[in-house]
């Protein structure tokens, strides 16, 4: 699935499944609140002498307005460009000098910053993250340089990758009013027009302790760490609550299709169905459908399209309910040379129809449950991943207690639930389809 590395900007994640009788990282999790509204989630895990420190701001591309897309992500980049205390490049140099790794990421829902260190380095994170929560400097020249860097990022990850362009176009067609229609990196013309002032306003509006969550995971002493966090962040004044994003996507009334004609070798299909997000009772059967259709070489889409019919180079599907608003359950396939695009597209729908008509087997249902349970266990191996999971839940506005019930809820899913969900959501009227129509060198249209 290397091919799909950049397919969507949200990070694919299998939900954690607390299992009866199994130790879970949730047992070692505690939530605290500072007086200024900063939420602090600590997850103690002493298996390795390392920590990850993350600051999650509850602001992402979803908060951008027309003409200003890319602002959340550009702000993420500018956060490395300095404060009075840490000049340009100093944040990265400081982290490296202390043996740490660092980066940041932006999604529709959040902008998050992290460092991973050996266990005795918490104070380094505290110093620089508390500083840049309030003291970012937006130097005019640096702003323009970094905007150029982001445009290069867009060229590299989207414009020059035909499948990424299809993904972008499909989302833009699937959502008419909701900001999920916009790419996180931003439209090129918006990037060209973003100003330093836009960025400063953004920072002032959203980068507040009362709009952020700290997540610390790994090998540390909780009471000491909380004391230190309070000392570093406690004096940062709260700001007024940022405005809520209130746009709702109207109901889709029929299938939408987009075509992307671009120089490429093979056609690509990307089809998404409108589905509910987490919190809706159907999320559990939808999760099961993802596994039945797409997890492993024994899953239905791989088996049918890649293995048996040999019409697709790769094929799969993904449901990620971890968003604030309802999103898409999407399917994708790379069409093999000499195969008709329509045949592969129909092949995907046929697998969905089969579930609707003939249901799923006991074995498939149990396999999906086993897979989710195993991934719950193995995914905890990384403390970064633990923090990431909790951070994404928090950003979607979901309490972590949700996870404690998750496995039970998955276990309760019946074959009938799965079929009912397939019938309800896998219907053409809820679907948006993006097709890559490869142009040969020089631009001729060839099916």
What is the footprint of other proteins within residues 117-176 (CB under 8 A)?
117-120, 144-153, 155-157, 159-163
Q: Annotated catalytic residue: which of 64, 76, 102, 345? A: 76
By C-beta, is 150 or 348 nearer to other proteins? 150
Enumerate residues 269-308 that contact other proteins by CB under 8 A: 295-299, 303, 306-307
- From the list 73, 100, 421, the residue with the least C-alpha distance to 276 is 421
Q: Is 413 in the site for other proteins (CB under 8 A)?
A: no
76 is catalytic: yes
Q: Is 192 in the site for other proteins (CB under 8 A)?
A: no
**What are the contacts of 366-371 at 24+ separation with CB within 8 A?**
367/291, 367/292, 367/298, 368/288, 368/291, 368/292, 368/295, 369/288, 369/410, 369/411, 369/413, 371/291, 371/295, 371/296
Q: How far is the CB of 102 from other proteins (least distance, A)?
A: 8
What the block records as the tokens of 172 is 């833009």
Draw the binding track, 63-102, toward other proteins (x: CB under 8 A; -: no contact): -----------------x-------xx--xx--xxxxxxx
Q: How far is the CB of 215 from other proteins (least distance, A)?
A: 17
Q: How far is the CB of 356 from other proteins (least distance, A)?
A: 23
Choice from 62, 132, 367, 392 touching other proteins (CB under 8 A): 367
Task: Decide the pairing of beta strands 256-263 and 431-439.
Answer: parallel
By C-beta, is 254 or 337 nearer to other proteins? 337
Q: How far is the CB of 79 from other proteins (least distance, A)?
A: 12
- Please count the residues of this chain forming the interface with other proteins, following the rule CB under 8 A: 74
CA distance 75 to 182: 17
Neighbours of 417 (CB within 10 A): 18
H-helix segments, 380-425: 383-395, 401-411, 415-425
In angstroms, the first-to-last Cα distance of the chain is 25
What Cα–Cα distance (Å) separates residue 439 from each residue in 104, 259, 324, 374?
A: 36, 12, 38, 43
By C-beta, is 35 or 155 nearer to other proteins? 155
Task: Decide the pairing of beta strands 101-106 and 111-118.
Answer: antiparallel
Enumerate residues 12-31 that contact other proteins by CB under 8 A: 22
By C-beta, is 61 or 292 nearer to other proteins? 292
Stretch that binds other proteins, among 33-41, 175-183, 189-197, 264-272 (CB under 8 A): 264-272
DSSP state string for 290-359: HHHHHSSTTSHHIIIIIIIS--EEEEEEEE---SSS-EEEEEEEEEPTTS-HHHHHHHHHHHHHHHHHH-
CA distance 288 to 417: 10
Q: Is 336 in the site for other proteins (CB under 8 A)?
A: yes
By C-beta, is 153 or 353 nearer to other proteins? 153
Orientation of helix 122-134 relative to helix 222-233, angle to 10°: 30
Q: Is 193 in the site for other proteins (CB under 8 A)?
A: no
Q: Is 383 in the site for other proteins (CB under 8 A)?
A: yes
Choice from 18, 70, 321, 334 touching other proteins (CB under 8 A): 334
Draw the binding track, 198-217, toward other proteins (x: CB under 8 A; -: no contact): --------------------
DSSP state string for 122-187: HHHHHHHHHHHHH-----HHHHHHHHHHHHHHHIIIIIT-HHHHHHHHHHHHH-SSSGGGS-TT--
Q: Which residues, in sequence order, are CB contacts of 154 under 8 Å at separation 6+?
A: 185, 186, 188, 191
Q: How far is the CB of 39 from other proteins (least distance, A)?
A: 26
Stretch that binds other proteins, among 45-53, 128-136, 227-235, 280-288 (CB under 8 A): 45-53
Q: How far is the CB of 56 from other proteins (least distance, A)?
A: 21
Edge-first strand listing for the sheet containing 431-439 = 256-263, 431-439, 268-275, 327-335, 312-319
By C-beta, is 75 or 211 nearer to other proteins? 75
Q: Is 53 in the site for other proteins (CB under 8 A)?
A: no
Q: How far is the CB of 208 from other proteins (least distance, A)?
A: 26
Q: Is 423 in the site for other proteins (CB under 8 A)?
A: no
Enumerate residues 304-333 that contact other proteins by CB under 8 A: 306-307, 310, 313
Q: Which residues, in sequence order, are CB contacts of 196 under 8 Å at separation 6+?
A: 138, 140, 143
Q: Is 412 in the site for other proteins (CB under 8 A)?
A: no
- Residue bearing tokens 């979901």: 398
By C-beta, is 317 or 334 nearer to other proteins? 334
Q: How far is the CB of 262 from other proteins (least distance, A)?
A: 9
Tell me which residues are annotated as active site: 76
């Amino acid at each position: 699935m290397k091919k799909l590395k950049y397919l969507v900007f949200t990070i694919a994640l299998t939900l954690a499944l607390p299992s009866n009788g199994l130790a879970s990282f949730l047992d070692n999790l505690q939530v605290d609140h500072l007086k200024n509204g900063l939420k602090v989630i600590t997850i103690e895990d002493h298996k390795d002498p390392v920590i990850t420190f993350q600051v999650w701001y509850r602001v992402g591309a979803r908060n951008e307005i027309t003409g200003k897309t890319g602002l959340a992500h550009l702000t993420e980049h500018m956060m490395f460009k300095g404060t009075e205390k840490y000049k340009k490049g100093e944040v990265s140099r400081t982290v490296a000098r202390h043996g740490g790794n660092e980066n940041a990421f932006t999604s529709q829902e959040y902008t998050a910053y992290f460092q991973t260190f050996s266990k005795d380095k918490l104070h380094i994170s505290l110093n620089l993250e508390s500083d840049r929560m309030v003291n970012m400097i937006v130097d005019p020249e640096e702003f323009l340089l970094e905007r150029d860097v982001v445009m290069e990022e867009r060229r590299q990850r989207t414009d020059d990758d035909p499948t990424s362009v299809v993904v972008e176009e499909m989302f833009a067609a699937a959502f008419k009013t909701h900001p999920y229609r916009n790419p996180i990196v931003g439209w090129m013309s918006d990037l060209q027009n973003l100003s330093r002032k836009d960025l400063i306003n953004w920072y002032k509006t959203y980068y507040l302790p009362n709009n952020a969550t700290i997540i610390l995971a790994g090998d540390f002493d909780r009471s000491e760490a909380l004391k230190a966090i309070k000392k570093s962040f406690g004096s940062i004044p709260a700001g007024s609550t940022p405005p809520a994003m209130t746009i709702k996507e109207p109901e889709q009334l029929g299938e939408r299709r987009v075509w992307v004609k671009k120089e490429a070798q093979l056609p690509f299909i990307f089809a998404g169905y409108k589905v509910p997000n987490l919190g809706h009772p159907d999320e559990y059967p939808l999760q099961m459908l993802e596994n039945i259709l797409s997890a492993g070489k024994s899953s239905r889409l791989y088996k049918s399209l890649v293995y048996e019919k040999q019409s697709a180079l790769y094929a799969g599907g993904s449901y990620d309910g971890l968003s604030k608003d309802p999103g898409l359950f999407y399917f994708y396939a790379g069409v093999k040379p000499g195969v008709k695009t329509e045949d592969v597209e129909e092949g995907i729908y046929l697998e969905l129809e089969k579930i609707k008509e003939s249901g799923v087997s006991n074995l498939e249902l149990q396999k999906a449950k086993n897979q989710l349970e195993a991934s719950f266990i193995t995914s905890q191996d990384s403390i970064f991943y633990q923090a990431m999971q909790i951070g994404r839940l928090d950003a979607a506005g979901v309490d972590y207690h949700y996870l404690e019930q998750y496995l039970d809820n998955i276990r309760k899913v019946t074959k009938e639930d799965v079929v009912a969900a397939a019938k309800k959501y896998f219907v053409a009227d809820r679907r948006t389809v993006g097709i890559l129509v490869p142009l040969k060198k020089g631009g001729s249209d060839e099916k």
